[in-house]
Chains A and B, each alone.
Chain A
Amino acid sequence: MLETHLRQVATVLLESAIRIAPPDTRNWGQAMRGELTYVEGPWAAVMWALGGASVLAKRALASLFIPGRRGQGIPSDAGLFAKDVSVRKAALVAGGACILAALLFFAAPPFRQGIRVSLTVWHELFRVTASGGQPGVTALSKQAEKRHDPEGLAFAAARFADGRESARLAEEAVRLDPTLIWIYPVVAVRHPDLPEVSQWVPKLERWDPQNALIQLIAAQSIEIDHMGEASKLPPKEVRNRMEEDPAWQSAMAAAFASPKFDDYLNRLKELDQGVVSRYRFNDPYELLSGEEADLPTYAFFDSQRFAESLLQSGQKVEARGDRRGAAEEYWAVARFGLVIDSQGHTDFEHHMGSSLQAGAYKQLQALSQKEGSPDEAALFGYLAGRLTPAVGEDSRLEGQWVFGRYVARRNAAVLQISGLMMLIFSGLVVVAGSVVIVGSRRGARPAAQRAKPVATIVALTGAVGLLLSSATIYLTYRPYWYIFQHAILNGDRSQTRDFRDFLMATHMLPGIAPNSFLVVNFQFYFWAGVILLGVAGLVFILLRHFLGRARALALRHSPRVP
């Protein structure tokens, strides 16, 4: 039963191959088919059919790349016994075409940027670049210094991870162009412990007196001073001392009374547009890291602490029977939360604003109930309820996603693996291509000649892999490149959330990204399977090549069977 089935499989396989074979090869296919009936053993029949089918398939492939092979004259003596010259030539032509097509991708800017992004994690893993190095920003800042370009200096100041260098560039930028003074708070938010911050605060207070951000930076500076002075004291003690400091109280009261909150991100975006095109700066990591620097943690906790103190003070005033005075305290918190929430740009700012408002509305709801105003209480309850989920779940922010976090992480993993595969395939092409070239030379060593067929197959596999991985990089990164272009050049930030999350995911090794084990496992199993199949195929080809040769030599030297 099994024998019949296996023979049927062998017949179907060979007949299918005959159908795709070029016309001048079909009678050879029929010849193999004719012998199949006489092959002893079902498995031997299958192997016979597989061998025959591979010959016909190779001929079919060769006819695709080298049409009109028929009608060749008798070749020179040297080429007469050369093994499958046309097939090898077809493989080399196909491989060359793949390499050329892969190289053409370099003409596309999304591909060039995509390669850089795809290799980031591997650079970091193998420490190809010095950790923390910012070569792009460093080069830009040097150029800007040479050109005495205040905008270029401010751009670099907003992005340098080194606080000292950032402060130096910011001061130089403001010296050259005093209207760029807004770069001080941007730098102060990123590097709150800089000694320069306390010198910048008075200037900023004069320049933008109504902005709550300046007061928050002032309060943060005072807190850092306290922490430095009392580093041996327990944190709670330090906090108590700081909260009792009239300067801190005054700064926070001024922040809560401010009608305005400006994080200067709009100015930074305008600056980016000019600098990016002027310096042809297109490092997405640097551009997006600088544009949405969050409020410092200090400011968040300072605001929470001051809000709590106001709410407690309101409760005390309420207990004394002064409900109007209590409402004023609660409203101060709600107003500040609203200012931050409505005028801020970053997640952190919205989160902080919502959180403060929710706490204040809960107190106002309780107060209204005590005052016998159920309608007002219901309104405050509604507002508190609407704002509370945003604190924990970021529900209001979900709507800003286009592709979503899941897609961003999956795409990042695909891009990273494709980048790695592209490197591996490029290496294969270079090594195998060199062997083919060396083996094709006149007077090449026999070992090089013997390795040529295998090297041709490896080179072709590498070239196909190179093309596929390049195409994957291009297709995966292309949508993000357009998001990037819109964000930087047109100021369209509607999709930068996707891009930012995608970029963050490209810093993580695939397989250890948080909350996405299923996705990453799929990628890993898929690519690991492809790699294993490729390696197994290579080993099979090598074994077949060398064992077949050894067997042929052994048969030649063995005594003849009569």
Chain B
Amino acid sequence: MKIPRISSETLLLLERFIERPTDWRYGYELSRQTGLKSGTLYPILMRLEKHRLLEARWVTTEDGVPPRHTYRLTPNGLELARAKLAEARPRSMVRQPAFGSG
């Protein structure tokens, strides 16, 4: 299978999702964990959701406070994310020192 082009920001986000695949995550939480700004994070989330790799749901909070959107990967998204990260890891490992702390 041909390896798709994938941005480092998307990989970063998938890595965070895959750590705790069943957990629902908030946008701001993901932003803090990945260091991605809202202008970068949300287009990625939108694309993943559009292709049904990500599911989203609204969470109502206290009165007068807007509801929050939460996200997690769908089974398809999880499968694809694992494949992409597996492909990407050997490439990133090349940059690691040969005798690192490993």
Distance between Cα atoms of A478 and B80 in the complex (Å): 60
Work out how many contacts link A and B, with CB atoms closer than 8 A.
107
| Known contacts A31-B27, A35-B26; A449 and B5 CB within 8 A of each other | yes
Q: Is the CB of A556 within 8 A of B4?
A: no
- Chain A 522-562 interface mask (CB, 8 Å, partner B; 1/0): 00000000000000000000000000110111011100110
Return the chain A residue nearest B88 by Cβ.
A556
Interface residues of B in 21-63 (CB under 8 A from A): 26-28, 31, 33-40, 42-43, 45-47, 51-52, 56
> Interface residues of A: mostly helix, strand, loop or mixed?
helix
Distance between Cα atoms of A556 and B8 in the complex (Å): 8
- Chain A 31-56 interface mask (CB, 8 Å, partner B; 1/0): 11111111100000001111110110
Distance between Cα atoms of A77 and B4 in the complex (Å): 6
Q: Is the CB of B42 within 8 A of A55?
A: yes
Q: Is the CB of A557 within 8 A of B95?
A: yes
| Interface-side segment among A78-86, A213-221, A460-468 | A78-86
Interface residues of A in 448-478 (CB under 8 A from B): 449
Interface size counted on chain A using CB atoms at 8 A: 42
Distance between Cα atoms of A109 and B25 in the complex (Å): 62
Return the chain A residue nearest B41 by Cβ.
A51
Instruction: Decide if A516 is an interface residue (CB 8 Å cutoff).
Output: no
Q: B43 → chain A, closest Cβ, in Å?
A: 6
Distance between Cα atoms of A28 and B68 in the complex (Å): 10
Chain A residues contacting B31 (CB-CB under 8 Å) are 35, 48
Pick the contact of B36: A27, A52, A552 (CB < 8 A). Answer: A552
| Known contacts A55-B42, A83-B43, A557-B95; A35 and B35 CB within 8 A of each other | no
Chain B residues contacting A548 (CB-CB under 8 Å) are 9, 37, 40
Instruction: Decide if A518 is an interface residue (CB 8 Å cutoff).
Output: no
Q: Is the CB of A37 within 8 A of B65?
A: yes
| Known contacts A31-B27, A82-B5; A551 and B35 CB within 8 A of each other | yes
Return the chain B residue nearest A79 by Cβ.
B4
Q: Is the CB of A50 within 8 A of B46?
A: no
Q: Is the CB of A552 within 8 A of B39?
A: no
Q: Is the CB of B51 within 8 A of A34?
A: no
Q: Is the CB of A51 within 8 A of B38?
A: yes
Chain B residues contacting A52 (CB-CB under 8 Å) are 38-39, 42
Chain B residues contacting A28 (CB-CB under 8 Å) are 42, 45-46, 69
Q: Is the CB of B39 within 8 A of A78?
A: no
Return the chain B residue nearest A560 by Cβ.
B19
Which 8 A-B pairs have CB atoms at the shortest separation, nearest pair first?
A51-B39, A31-B69, A51-B38, A35-B28, A81-B6, A34-B68, A34-B66, A35-B27
Partner-B contacts on A (CB < 8 A) = 25, 27-28, 30-39, 47-52, 54-55, 74-75, 77-84, 449, 548-549, 551-553, 555-557, 560-561
Q: Can you list 18 A-B pairs with a CB-CB distance of less than 8 A?
A: A30-B67, A31-B27, A31-B68, A35-B26, A39-B28, A47-B38, A48-B31, A48-B38, A51-B38, A52-B39, A55-B38, A77-B4, A78-B2, A83-B7, A84-B43, A552-B8, A552-B36, A557-B95
Partner-A contacts on B (CB < 8 A) = 1-2, 4-12, 15, 19, 26-28, 31, 33-40, 42-43, 45-47, 51-52, 56, 65-69, 92, 95-96
